[in-house]
Amino acid sequence: IIGGNELRGCITVQNCKNAILPIMAACILNEKEVCLHNIPKLLDIDNMLKILHALGVKAELKEGECVINASSLEINSLDQELCSTLRSSIFLLGALIARAKRAVISFPGGCEIGARPIDVHIKGLEELGAQIIVEDSQIICDGTNMHSGTINLSFASVGATENLMM
């Protein structure tokens, strides 16, 4: 780097999937149309769109824009085949409980960078009043008695924090 020169110009910063996927899940909290811009064309984004479609949500990605309309959300459960394609399917747990007061999802998959348990998500939701049963490969949640609260996570987790905020 040679200093002493003024920097000028414009760059476009591409969104990253780790930011977009929880935002896409959070879109089901709203019954209005949401338009997300600067969305990368990635397999994980496509898989989240498939999961949203399976829930009855209208979602389309075209030319870097993703339009999501969850007013037609019909289903509050996801099968193992869908959840196994995407680690970020866990974000739908908090969003579905908040919107439908009940959620049934399978354990998430799709991540090959090592063990990242979801117990912190489950424990946090229980601290907020969710009744959760883990049975076989499913997480069954009843959120009818949820309440606000203060949660102290056993370790720092951005994903669990995002999920619990939903």
**Cα 61 to chain center, whole Å?**
17
- DSSP secondary structure string for all residues of 77-138: B--HHHHTT-GGGGHHHHHHHHHHSEEEEEPP----SS----HHHHHHHHHTT-EEEEETTE
> β-pairing, 131-135 with 65-69?
unpaired
Identify whether 35 is a catalytic site residue.
no
Q: Which of 10, 35, 66, 111 is catalytic?
A: 111
Catalytic residues: 111
